């Protein structure tokens, strides 16, 4: 598994609950490294282990924890790259949703080793969509839910997003788009801020 | 009969959608229409109804001054620059319109990153078929990935330095070890810098260990380390090279006066009683000194061996003293390899 996945969980815990919380999580399970490296690869079974250890330590259901990780990746001020890179996909929330199918390709363009499973958006009615996706790891769908909710906020859209479940290796997420411009979205400029 | 040509039927609104960076220039060289993104970059509608060549400097091909010349035998690519009101470089392509005017489509070329930032362009400023936004995405993604790689290599370099530091340090005394001598000496010799090498061997150390135990011996070694550090200069390299043997590499020293002074101070200090676990200990030291300038070609192995021989002369002559290696001894050894 790409280290970015593990590093995301680690950073989420460090930035939300403090480094000590992460140290405790890392120490609570055998063979979890003290620090994950985003650019290295790790054994797949570590993904489950780190999620379980974190859920146990924080006394949160896996689903809630992973949804929070998804939200964190887009909305936490310490993490800028995913938010900006996702915003490149569209100038409105509608455009963003309609380019979701490209997400795995976009990610692979940035990180050739990170293979997201295929993802598909289906329009089920006026302002109603269903996102289906393969599964990267157990609970992956909840990360997507958190990420989509945070992106909806990014665009200032009013949406209802819910996890519909898993069937035959596919997760489904329902999206109700009530108002794409409910309020002012977060500022986004194409030109990257000068470091 | 050729198929009917519908291309002339595009109005300005259609051109704006297809090519937001285009210009429609009349046969007289007056700009008739400017695409919306080009207008934005130019800072308003200042370009419309102005003369094309007043605002654009054609950098390649050079010397063309009218629209007909631009479209008669159109070059594959134009390099041009918007000179007023703002300077922006473009790559362009021109084609002749039926009325003798020119349709010129532009792109920002390689300077696009700066233009997008400076003029705060958004994705709607580019045609959906234009890959500029994808290019900016890719650039930013690559930068973020490179950043992660850079941080990773910095962390790895830090870990390597820490490991090296450990390998170069004696855990008991905190002094450098034998490897440091080799490394620093090699650097100094390579830089043709003079230095002296002093070997310090403790007298009666075994007796302290035997009588008071190893913890007492360790205390002695730590005290000796402190004395050596205090009595040498900041840039000198102090090492523990063996059980009770130390070495000091004195940089920039190739005359005996200073070396004598330092060795003398060390000997005096080491004759003082040392407080150790379980009582007081008394040791002294024997010292051998050599200097790089004694050697036609200095090599640290030779210097170590010669300093060691000098050290044993000190021991044999009654301990608690220093002996210098002489030029004579070095020269003689050069001939018959026996000191």
ipTM attached to this prediction? 0.85
Q: Is B141 on the interface with A (CB under 8 A)?
A: yes
What does DSSP assign to residue A182?
S
Contacts of A84 in chain B (CB under 8 A): 140
Nearest CA to B97 out of B65, B77, B80, B74 is that of B74
Please give the pLDDT value at position B338.
43
Q: Which of residues 98-137 of B touch A (CB under 8 A)?
A: 113-114, 116-118, 120-124, 133-134, 136-137
Structure tokens at A171: 């997760």
Sorted by sequence, the CB contacts under 8 Å of residue B325 that are 6+ apart come out as B288, B289, B290, B291, B294, B306, B307, B309, B310
Nearest CA to A14 out of A23, A1, A6 is that of A23
Rounded Cα–Cα distance for residues B59 and B210 (Å):
90
Give, to the nearest 10 degrees, the angle between helix A103-110 and helix B132-167: 40
Report angle CA B31, B33, B34 to the nearest 5 degrees.
100
Distances (CA, A) of B74 to B86, B93, B101: 26, 8, 13
Instruction: Based on the residue annotation, tell me whether B125 is a catalytic residue of this protein.
Output: no
Rounded Cα–Cα distance for residues B178 and B29 (Å):
81
Q: How far is A191 from chain B (nearest CA, A)?
A: 4
Sorted by sequence, the CB contacts under 8 Å of residue B64 that are 6+ apart come out as B58, B70
Structure tokens at B32: 């008739």
**Contacts made by residues B310-316, CB under 8 angstroms, sequence distance 24+:** B310/B199, B311/B199, B311/B200, B311/B201, B311/B286, B311/B287, B312/B286, B312/B288, B313/B288, B314/B286, B314/B287, B314/B288, B315/B201, B315/B203, B315/B286
Rounded Cα–Cα distance for residues B300 and B184 (Å):
10
Structure tokens at A84: 């900006």
**Mean pLDDT over all residues of chain B?**
88
For A127-141, how does the pLDDT look when each residue is reduced to its tens digit (9 = 90+)? Answer: 999 999 999 999 999
Distances (CA, A) of A182 to A158, B51, B134: 6, 45, 27
Sorted by sequence, the CB contacts under 8 Å of residue B158 that are 6+ apart come out as none
Give yes or no for residue A192 having a pLDDT over 90. Answer: no
Cβ–Cβ contacts within 10 Å for residue B8, how many?
8
Contacts of B155 in chain A (CB under 8 A): 37
Mutation for B interface: A37, A39, A191, most B CBs within 10 A: A191
Mutation for B interface: A190, A192, A193, A195, most B CBs within 10 A: A190
| Cβ separation B137–A85 shorter than 8 A | yes
> Active-site residue among B201, B236, B244, B302?
B244
Structure tokens at B328: 């004579």
Sorted by sequence, the CB contacts under 8 Å of residue B271 that are 6+ apart come out as B282, B284, B320
Please give the pLDDT value at position B254.
82
For B280-299, how does the pLDDT look when each residue is reduced to its tens digit (9 = 90+)? Answer: 999 999 999 999 999 988 99
Handedness of CA A9, A10, A15, A19 (dihedral sign): positive
Structure tokens at B289: 């000194």
Rounded Cα–Cα distance for residues B128 and B134 (Å):
10
Select, from the ranges A131-135, B9-13, B167-171, B329-333, the one with the highest average predicted confidence (pLDDT).
A131-135
Contacts of B149 in chain A (CB under 8 A): 39
Beta bridge pairs of residue A106: none
Question: Exposed, middle or buried: residue A178 (CB in 10 Å: 0-12, 13-18, 19+)?
Answer: exposed
Please give the pLDDT value at position B45.
54
Q: Which of residues 96-125 of A touch B (CB under 8 A)?
A: 106, 109-111
Rounded Cα–Cα distance for residues B114 and A194 (Å):
10
Rounded Cα–Cα distance for residues B205 and B210 (Å):
9
Q: Which of B159-168, B186-195, B287-296 shows the lowest per-residue confidence on average (mean pLDDT)? A: B159-168
Please give the pLDDT value at position B172.
87
Rounded average pLDDT over A76-102: 92
Cβ–Cβ contacts within 10 Å for residue B328, how many?
9
Q: Which of A16-25, A57-66, B45-54 shows the lowest per-residue confidence on average (mean pLDDT)? A: B45-54
Q: Does the pTM of the predicted model rise above 0.80?
A: no
Distances (CA, A) of B279 to A92, B173, B195: 82, 20, 38
Residue A92 φ then ψ, to 5°: -130, 165
Select, from the ranges A179-188, B19-28, B75-84, B151-160, the one with the highest average predicted confidence (pLDDT).
B19-28
**Which run of H or of E encompasses B245?**
strand B245-251
Select, from the ranges A15-19, B10-14, B58-62, B176-180, the one with the highest average predicted confidence (pLDDT).
A15-19
3-state secondary structure B196-232: EEEEEEEECHHHHHHHHCHHHHHHHHHHHHHHHHHHC
Please give the pLDDT value at position B252.
86
């Amino acid at each position: 598994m790409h280290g970015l996945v593990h590093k995301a969980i680690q950073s989420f815990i460090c930035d939300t609950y403090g480094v000590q919380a992460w140290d405790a999580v890392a120490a609570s399970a055998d063979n979890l490294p003290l620090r994950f490296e985003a650019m290295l690869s790790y054994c797949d079974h570590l993904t489950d282990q780190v999620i379980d250890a974190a859920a146990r330590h924080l006394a949160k259901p896996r689903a809630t924890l992973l949804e929070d990780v998804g939200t964190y990746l887009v909305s936490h001020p310490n993490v800028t790259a995913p938010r900006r890179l996702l915003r490149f996909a569209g100038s409105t929330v509608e455009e963003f949703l309609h380019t979701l199918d490209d997400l795995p390709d976009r990610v692979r363009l940035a990180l050739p080793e990170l293979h997201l499973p295929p993802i598909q958006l289906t329009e089920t009615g006026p302002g109603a969509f269903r996102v289906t996706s393969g599964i990267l790891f157990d609970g992956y769908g909840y990360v997507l839910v958190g990420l989509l909710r945070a992106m909806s906020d990014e665009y200032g859209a009013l949406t209802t997003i819910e996890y519909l479940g898993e069937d035959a290796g596919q997760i489904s997420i329902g999206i109700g788009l009530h108002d794409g411009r409910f309020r002012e979205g977060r500022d986004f400029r194409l030109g990257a801020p000068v470091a | 009969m050729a198929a009917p040509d519908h291309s002339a039927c595009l109005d300005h609104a259609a051109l704006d959608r297809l090519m937001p960076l285009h210009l429609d220039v009349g046969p007289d060289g007056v700009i008739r229409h400017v695409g919306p993104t080009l207008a934005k970059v130019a800072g308003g509608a200042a370009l419309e109804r102005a003369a094309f060549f007043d605002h654009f400097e054609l950098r390649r091909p050079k010397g063309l001054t009218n629209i007909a010349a631009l479209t008669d035998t159109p070059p594959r690519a134009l390099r041009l620059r918007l000179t007023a009101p703002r300077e922006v470089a473009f790559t362009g392509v021109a084609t002749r319109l039926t009325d003798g005017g020119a349709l010129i489509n532009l792109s920002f070329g390689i300077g696009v990153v700066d233009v997008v930032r400076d003029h705060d362009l958004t994705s709607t400023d580019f045609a959906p078929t234009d890959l500029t936004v994808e290019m900016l995405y890719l650039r930013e993604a690559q930068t973020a990935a490179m950043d992660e790689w850079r941080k990773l290599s910095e962390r790895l370099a830090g870990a390597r330095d820490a490991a090296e530091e450990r390998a170069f340090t004696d855990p008991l005394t905190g002094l450098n070890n034998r490897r440091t001598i080799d490394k620093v000496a090699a650097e100094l010799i390579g830089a043709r810098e003079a230095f002296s090498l002093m070997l310090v061997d403790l007298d009666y150390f075994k007796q302290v260990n035997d009588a008071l135990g190893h913890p007492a011996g360790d205390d002695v070694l730590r005290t000796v380390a402190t004395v050596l550090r205090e009595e040498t200069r900041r840039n000198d390299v102090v090492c523990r090279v063996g059980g009770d043997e130390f070495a000091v590499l004195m940089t920039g020293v190739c005359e005996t006066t200073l070396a004598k002074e330092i060795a003398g101070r060390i000997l005096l200090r080491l004759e003082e009683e040392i407080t150790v676990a379980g009582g007081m200990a008394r040791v002294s030291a024997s010292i051998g000194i050599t200097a790089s300038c004694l050697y036609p070609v200095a090599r640290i192995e030779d210097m170590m061996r010669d300093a060691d021989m000098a050290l044993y002369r000190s021991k044999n002559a009654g301990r608690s003293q220093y002996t210098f290696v002489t030029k004579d001894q070095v020269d003689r050894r050069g001939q018959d390899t026996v000191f």
